[in-house]
Chains A and B, each alone.
Chain A
Amino acid sequence: MNASSILILVILAALVSLALWRVWKKGAPCECGTNCKACLKNCKNHSSASGCSCSSQAKDSLI
């Protein structure tokens, strides 16, 4: 394997690591405008009667 192939592999590995790290830290970006981790965090922290950032945002835009 030549040097340029190794370089490309290293860049690819770095990009994959960066993406996974970002998902680990903040959660997957989502079509609702926030990210999954924000939803899960809210969901975990609040009582069953409460809403979440995503749902309230979506509802706000709806009604």
Chain B
Amino acid sequence: MSIKIALAGNPNSGKTTLFNALTGSDQYVGNWPGVTVEKKDGRLAGHKDTVLQDLPGIYSLSPYSLEEKVSRNFLVYEKPDAILNIVDGTNIERNLYLSTQLAELGIPMVIAVNMMDIVDKAGDKIDFKKLGKALNCRAIGISAQKSRGCRDAAAEALLVAREGLKSEAPHVFSGSVEHALAHIEESIQGKVPAASIRWCAIKIFERDKEAIEKMGINPKTIEHVEGHIKDCEKELDDDAESIITSQRYEFIQKIVKDCVVKNSKRLKRMSISDKIDRIVTHKILALPIFILSLCAMWWLAVAENGPGTILTDWANDQFLGEDGWHLPFTSHKFKCPEKECENCTADERGENCTCESCRIYTGMEYEEAQEFYAPHEKNIEAWEAAYIEAYNEANKDKEGFEELAEMPEELDEALARTVKADGVRLDDDEETGEAVRGKLKDGCGPCIEVEIAEEDDEDAPELEWTCDWAMYQVSKAVPEVDPSNYGVFIPGISTLLDSMLDKAGVNETVKSLVKDGAWGGVATVLGFVPVILVVFLFLAFLEDCGYMARVAFIMDRLFRKFGLSGKSFIPMIVGKGCGVPAVMAARTIENERDHRMTVILATFIPCGAKTVVIAMFASIFFRDMWWVAALMDIIGIAIIVLGGIALKKSRAFAGEAAPFVMELPSYHLPTPNGIWRHTWTRVKGYVFKAGMIIFPACVFLWLVMHFDWSFTLLADEEIEKSILHDIGSWIAWFFAPLGFGTWQGAAASVSAEIAKEQATATLGIVAQNMQGTSTAAHIKALFGSMSDFPRLAAFSFMVFNLFIPPCMVAIAVTFREMGTKAWGWFAVAFQLFIGYTIALSAYQVGMLICSGVFTFWTILALAIDGFCLWAIFRPARKEIAK
């Protein structure tokens, strides 16, 4: 039979850190039947027969909160073989309150005083022998974060568990209380387990109804002992529960006085935590600091040269895409591929080689070679495009003319010599997606020089560049840059998949299903893992160092001004990871009105899945405006505050804000391991979701996009007959005022209800027939085809999908938490109204500002905005205010 050791202690005392240190990776998170709060189980490393059970953090065993009830019931009724009580050494007085209660349970116990590294640094001293003696158990100093003393504590707990060394309950109470307890113990002897008789007696003394009920004591016995309790209360002039509490604290004060020597110099100084708090919770600076930290997070994640973007570009183009990548930390210098070249052998390969590649690229790094070849590539592309256009123009009236789409193998030399690239599409404008004439950059190699005429300069030559047949031939003679000649080259997954399918001889339809449907959608989502990684790393750092707890405190100050409680903000911070636990975390709010309001508002904070949508649009449309991503979080918070104000003024949600009490933990320097563990848990969930949800959804979308209603397979150019096209077109009118009223926009928005990141995957699939060579270019072209203002339409699409009702699972939880269907529908309708209003206003007002476009929808947007402002700023009715 395995030995069970329970880890019990105050919240933030380092239980989970100790649990992880002792169990290593051999742990799982599971829900026990019948209990309401999660416990973690893990096997003690090196002891397969020993199970560590991590209980939720609790302050006492008195039933004030759910966690305390659950932990108490577990410790009292499930009876672990031993308790390893984790005590925060930096806050020993408060932590020992629980220790005094645990010592009364009659379960073998070891006290592990944690954070000893901080205690030592502060110059404080703790006498563990005296501490252990006072509580009749063994006490050990540990530092879970530094993995110091953890093994000793576990070994000690294992020893007391194996030998059943039950500690005697410490003498905590005064004579009169002990007298009453002795009477109670006498009355219940034989009716409760002998080991926990002391604990049962104290609970009866405290008149803890739930504990008494569970003990199954005869009411007559309770009546009998009531006289002794009343006598004690009369003597000490207080109620029984307060007597127990105050005498426990008196006992703890005595212990601390005997066992702890505090550094007198430190007591006079302000702690570092206090100094930091003076700035970060400052009444004026707090909010700007919070917004700055959000901006810093998004800058790191999506700014053009930030780590998130660099990694995302690499993931999208090289790792998952078609480019491929070179093995890092190896040489990327050119090596001649011409093995049969007579001068090109052995170590001196390249130096005297006569092959064209060696002549040009010898000594160049991969990036240098790419830079060298780029103008030639542009020259070839531009000239070929010009040739095709000139050919089609010259031959269009001839009989049997077939439009030329690709460069022919045999060129019409006469035509080739006359071709000028004037007026052909050379490059796309980054903002508008429109073709720009003659836009070729400097340093265009041997052949190109662009001469751009000023619009108002009549004497200037016509837009033309001097790329003729001879120059084209020069560029064609330059060998292409083959990445495999520059060190170890690993092709992108798309390329590998492509060649694998080609080698297998798979037909084009199946190839498209696998490559464009299944892989295309999943790759679009996975390509943004780096952004998720950066955001979650940053959040994990803020959480682990203790700043996020301050954010709730800061927001409480802001919320309270408007009649809201900071308690409502805790679920919203939780919601940065996922909306589902955010909605559930609102359960801690006892007031039903505030609970409902919090459920409605909690999902407006963009969750992890919505972060992907933000990342995608930021990288495609707002690359030079990273702050747009941060703006999404700020809009989310603004909706919560303003929506809360508006709702609080209605009869259904009016009422006083609930009090909010929260312990602010000391700032810790987070460990890389802790941050990574937090981040990895979230990223892992995201990656798995791509495999479990996005993958089947993408296959389904590809199928409905490539089949018509009679289930006939359609060619790429027949997509307009597809099922998806029809369904999308039926509902596209709803999105038309928002700027993306096409079947693609409708399909992406509706499919996002499966999971928010599905919007990005769907866009990747439905845009694949658009112009461009990458998913980003396809999506850019798609929005260009939807609206004359592609950036505005993209912004509108993004805010609509961020602020409408969350994914299906979160909606289901919202319905359940709201209590009734009517309230559930109200929540969904409210969220839809907010999302639609913001998108409508952004697009219509944006168009009005950008180009003075004023339509019926502009009037409607302004009218709804006016209504919203009225709902926020109207005076609260007197009876409601009361």
Residue positions of A touching B, CB distance < 8 A: 1-2, 4-5, 7-9, 12, 15-16, 19-20, 22-23, 27-36, 38-44, 46-63
Measured CA separation A53–B577 after assembly (Å): 14
Q: Identify which of A7, A19, A39, A61 gathers the most chain B CB atoms within 10 Å of its CB.
A: A61
Contact A32 B38, beta carbon cutoff 8 Å:
no
Interface assignment of B16: CB less than 8 Å from any CB of chain A: yes
Which residues of B680-736 have CB atoms within 8 Å of chain A's CB atoms? 681-682, 684-686, 688-689, 691-693, 695-696, 699
Measured CA separation A45–B536 after assembly (Å): 30
Contact A39 B584, beta carbon cutoff 8 Å:
yes
Q: How far is the CB of A47 from chain B (nearest CB, A)?
A: 8
Q: How far is the CB of B269 from chain A (nearest CB, A)?
A: 26
Q: Name the residue of chain B whose CB is nearest to the CB of A38.
A: B31
Could you say which residues of chain B place their CB within 8 Å of the CB of A50? 36-37, 66, 587
What total of A-B pairs shows CB separation below 8 Å? 171
Could you say which residues of chain A place their CB within 8 Å of the CB of B67? 51, 56
Interface residues of B toward A: which range? 35 or more
Whether A12 touches B817, Cβ cut-off 8 Å, given contacts A29-B685, A31-B608, A63-B663, is: no
Q: Name the residue of chain A whose CB is nearest to the CB of B578.
A: A32
Residue positions of B touching A, CB distance < 8 A: 11-12, 16, 29, 31, 36-38, 56-57, 66-67, 501, 504-507, 510, 513-514, 518, 543-544, 548-549, 552, 570-571, 573-574, 577-578, 580-582, 584-585, 587-588, 590, 607-609, 662-663, 665, 678, 681-682, 684-686, 688-689, 691-693, 695-696, 699, 755, 809, 812-813, 816-817, 819
Whether A54 touches B584, Cβ cut-off 8 Å, given contacts A22-B692, A29-B692, is: yes
Q: Which of B581, B665, B692 contacts A54 (CB 8 A)?
A: B581
Q: Which of B663, B692, B812 contacts A40 (CB 8 A)?
A: B812
Measured CA separation A22–B582 after assembly (Å): 24
Measured CA separation A58–B552 after assembly (Å): 14
Given contact pairs A19-B696, A30-B689, enumerate 13 new A-B contacts (beta carbons under 8 Å). Answer: A1-B510, A5-B506, A8-B514, A23-B693, A29-B692, A30-B685, A31-B607, A31-B685, A42-B31, A52-B38, A52-B587, A58-B577, A63-B12
Measured CA separation A40–B813 after assembly (Å): 7
The 3 closest A-B pairs by CB, nearest first: A54-B581, A29-B688, A31-B608
Could you say which residues of chain A place their CB within 8 Å of the CB of B682? 31-33
Contact A8 B755, beta carbon cutoff 8 Å:
no
Q: Identify which of A1, A2, A60 gathers the most chain B CB atoms within 10 Å of its CB.
A: A60
Could you say which residues of chain A place their CB within 8 Å of the CB of B581? 32, 39, 52, 54-55, 57-58
Q: Name the residue of chain A whose CB is nearest to the CB of B508.
A: A5
Measured CA separation A59–B819 after assembly (Å): 23
Measured CA separation A5–B513 after assembly (Å): 11
Q: Name the residue of chain B whose CB is nearest to the CB of A46.
A: B36
Could you say which residues of chain B place their CB within 8 Å of the CB of A7? 504
Measured CA separation A63–B67 after assembly (Å): 14
Could you say which residues of chain A place their CB within 8 Å of the CB of B590? 49
Could you say which residues of chain A place their CB within 8 Å of the CB of B681? 33
Main secondary structure of the interface of A (DSSP, over half): helix
Could you say which residues of chain B place their CB within 8 Å of the CB of A49? 66, 587, 590
Measured CA separation A27–B678 after assembly (Å): 21
Contact B809 A58, beta carbon cutoff 8 Å:
no
Contact B29 A32, beta carbon cutoff 8 Å:
no
Measured CA separation A55–B16 after assembly (Å): 16
Measured CA separation A1–B617 after assembly (Å): 39
Measured CA separation A56–B71 after assembly (Å): 13
Cβ contacts A to B, 14 pairs, < 8 Å: A5-B505, A5-B506, A8-B504, A12-B513, A12-B514, A16-B699, A19-B696, A28-B689, A32-B578, A39-B809, A43-B816, A50-B36, A56-B56, A63-B665
Contact B809 A40, beta carbon cutoff 8 Å:
yes
Measured CA separation A29–B588 after assembly (Å): 24
Could you say which residues of chain A place their CB within 8 Å of the CB of B816? 40, 43-44
Contact A4 B587, beta carbon cutoff 8 Å:
no
Measured CA separation A30–B607 after assembly (Å): 11
Q: Identify which of A9, A31, A46 gathers the most chain B CB atoms within 10 Å of its CB.
A: A31
Q: Name the residue of chain B whose CB is nearest to the CB of A44.
A: B816
Measured CA separation A15–B513 after assembly (Å): 14
Could you say which residues of chain A place their CB within 8 Å of the CB of B588? 51, 59
Measured CA separation A26–B817 after assembly (Å): 21
Q: How far is the CB of B28 from chain A (nearest CB, A)?
A: 11
Contact A31 B578, beta carbon cutoff 8 Å:
yes
Could you say which residues of chain B place their CB within 8 Å of the CB of A40? 809, 812-813, 816
Measured CA separation A58–B699 after assembly (Å): 33
Measured CA separation A20–B697 after assembly (Å): 10
Q: Name the residue of chain A whose CB is nearest to the CB of B680.
A: A33
Could you say which residues of chain B place their CB within 8 Å of the CB of A38? 31
Q: How far is the CB of A31 from chain B (nearest CB, A)?
A: 4
Measured CA separation A30–B587 after assembly (Å): 20
Measured CA separation A34–B678 after assembly (Å): 13
Could you say which residues of chain B place their CB within 8 Å of the CB of A62? 543, 548-549, 552, 570, 573-574
Whether A36 touches B809, Cβ cut-off 8 Å, given contacts A23-B693, A29-B685, A52-B581, is: yes
Q: Identify which of A47, A49, A57 gathers the most chain B CB atoms within 10 Å of its CB.
A: A57
Could you say which residues of chain A place their CB within 8 Å of the CB of B585? 51, 55, 58-59
Could you say which residues of chain B place their CB within 8 Å of the CB of A54? 578, 580-581, 584
Q: Which of B510, B573, B607 contacts A8 (CB 8 A)?
A: B510
Q: How far is the CB of B680 from chain A (nearest CB, A)?
A: 9
Q: How far is the CB of B684 from chain A (nearest CB, A)?
A: 8
Q: How far is the CB of A41 from chain B (nearest CB, A)?
A: 7
Could you say which residues of chain A place their CB within 8 Å of the CB of B548? 62
Could you say which residues of chain A place their CB within 8 Å of the CB of B695? 15-16, 19
Contact A53 B693, beta carbon cutoff 8 Å:
no
Whether A61 touches B607, Cβ cut-off 8 Å, given contacts A4-B504, A51-B585, A54-B578, is: no
Could you say which residues of chain B place their CB within 8 Å of the CB of A4? 504-506
Could you say which residues of chain A place their CB within 8 Å of the CB of B607? 31
Contact A36 B580, beta carbon cutoff 8 Å:
yes
Could you say which residues of chain A place their CB within 8 Å of the CB of B513? 9, 12
Measured CA separation A55–B771 after assembly (Å): 45
Q: Name the residue of chain B whose CB is nearest to the CB of A29.
A: B688
Measured CA separation A38–B574 after assembly (Å): 17
Q: Name the residue of chain A whose CB is nearest to the CB of B590.
A: A49
Could you say which residues of chain B place their CB within 8 Å of the CB of A61? 543-544, 678
Q: Which of B501, B678, B696 contacts A16 (CB 8 A)?
A: B696
Contact A51 B37, beta carbon cutoff 8 Å:
yes
Could you say which residues of chain B place their CB within 8 Å of the CB of A1? 507, 510
Contact A28 B693, beta carbon cutoff 8 Å:
yes
Measured CA separation A46–B665 after assembly (Å): 30
Could you say which residues of chain B place their CB within 8 Å of the CB of A56? 37-38, 56, 67
Could you say which residues of chain B place their CB within 8 Å of the CB of A32? 574, 577-578, 580-581, 682, 685
Q: Identify which of B504, B573, B580, B684 gathers the most chain A CB atoms within 10 Å of its CB.
A: B580
